[in-house]
Each structure stands twice: as structure tokens, then as C-alpha cells.
Chain A
Amino acid sequence: MKRALFALLLIAAPLHADSDLPPSRWANEQLPNARQEAAATVLMQEIRCLVCQGQSIADSDAELAGDMRALVRERIARGERPEAVRAWLIERYGAWVSYRPPLEPLSWPLWVAPVGLLALGGWLLRGRFRKRA
């Protein structure tokens, strides 16, 4: 009974159309160089999955996410800087694919907002305090 169940589970049908090929080698394997792996991990957590769009490629189970992880690891292992890999992906998919908004005119309001909000708050409070006697 156990064996039959086991076999059944192993051949259980996939739930969304997925290829029959195994994941790319570097999709689920860490780079041997710890520094490179750390840099790759940080980058993978900041790249959006194109399929499961609410997750990063580091967290997504989608096949394409696995292939993108492999791509990131391979390039970083070859010596490319993470910023260059990110830029290459943005060239293909647009700023949308990076969870870190790039520094460009479109995203300036985002980076100005914290300072602006603090300034606004400070201005609203300007009359609150009495002068130290």
C-alpha cells in the first residue's frame, strides 16, 4: 500500500503547464564562492518574477524564475557586477522587473518623498513650541 502511494505521488500530474526538463543547474544550487553567492542572493531577491508577479525570483517556484536565477548566478560567477546584471534585465523587461526602483526621472518623487514629508511635518509643527525662557 505504501509503495503504491509512493509511486502514485511521484507520477502525480503537474498542476500548471511545465516542461519535462529538470531545472537549470544553477537555479537551485549555490555558488561555491560565498561572496559571489551573497551578492547573487541579494540581487535575486530584488528581481521580480515574470510569472508569479507578486514574488521575487528568489522565492518563486516558477520554471522561468529558476532559469533567471541560474542566469544571475552564472553571470556573477563570470565576474559581472550585480548592477550590470540588473541593468541587462531592465533593458529587456523594463524597470518593472526590479523591485529597487532605478534612479531616473520617473522615480525621483519616490526618493524625494521621505525628505519632503519630513520637511512638511517640520513646517506644520513650526508654531507648536514655546521658546526656551
Chain B
Amino acid sequence: MSRARFIPLIVFALIVVAVAWRLAVPRDDRVASRLEGQQLPSFALPPALLGKSGLRSGDLAQGTPRLLNIFASWCVPCAAEAPALMELMRRGVAIDAIAIRDRPEDVAVFLAQHGDPFTRIGSDAGSRVQIALGSSGVPETFVIDGRGVIRAQHIGPIMPQDVAGILMALEDAK
């Protein structure tokens, strides 16, 4: 029984250390996409709105970095981030979007209420492209470089204080 009698104590100490770490570094329940650094999966989405073109993966590989915004008209935080997106558009950032599980009339109302910073909007009625991108909810924004590679992901609404970070990410993607 010699050294073995310390085993329970040592095991317990390890558990305490791990648990204490978790109390100090709280859980982050956001699920990030693992496709960062990889080519955008190819997709072709129909238009979400009359009068605006749909979205193909090729549209995001036109040579300059663009933002891909995943949103929905029924999503409350998406309304909250609208001002920040309009600000980014005013600063010359090109933004395409994918509307998740949305109807054209609802998207139209949303854009009329909160502004329309989007060049193109694809309609993803069954969340298939959302899942293919590794996105787990709305709103999320991806920074795509000129060659169609996903460079960064912002989970949640873009708040005014996040705008600078997004601009920097776009710079890095050049």
C-alpha cells in the first residue's frame, strides 16, 4: 500500500486545479467556425429579396476583402447591429449577406426599417449554407479575403466598439 495511498489525494488535487481554472476562466458557450483559414465552401443561393441579386460563393472572391453577414429579419440582435453595418458601408466596406429562414416580404420590411448595407443577399431557407460555413446562430459576420478564404469570424452583433476591429481584420485580409 506504500505509495498508492497518496493516489486519491493527488487525483483530487488535479481535479481542484482544473475546476479552479474553469471558475477563473468562465465558459464561453459560443461555437466558433473551424473553417477559418480555409476556402469558402461553394454555394449558390437564390435572391432573398425582389430587386437584389442572390449570392454565390464566387461573388466573394473578386479580389478585395468583403464581409459576409449572416442575419435574419426575425433576429432581434440583427436589428441592434444594423447601425454598425451601415457605418461600415459608409466607410467603403463591401458587405454581402445571407438571410436565414426568411421570407422576401419580411426581409424587405427589415431593410426598410434598419437600412440596407448589403450588395447582395442570398436566401438560406433551410440553414444549409449556414451549417456549411460552421455558423451556429444569427447574427454572425465573416471576413472573406479577395481569394475567397475565410479570414475571421465575428460571433454576435457588431457593436460600435467592434467596428475598428472589423476594419483591421479587413486590412489584414488584403
Contacts and interface: CB of A to CB of B under 8 A. Distances in A.
Interface of A: 17-21, 24, 50-51, 53, 63-64, 67-68, 70-71, 89, 91-94, 96-97, 120, 124
Interface of B: 1, 4, 7, 29, 31-35, 72, 74-76, 100-103, 106, 125-128, 130-134, 136-137
B150 to A, nearest CB: 11
Nearest to A53: B29
Contacts of B103: 20-21
A120 B33 CA distance: 40
Contact of B134 (A63, A92, A120): A92
Q: Which of A19, A21, A96, A120 has the most CB of B within 10 A?
A: A19
Contacts of A71: 128, 131
Contacts of A64: 127, 130-131, 136-137
A75 to B, nearest CB: 11
Contacts of B128: 67, 71
Contacts of A92: 33-35, 131-134
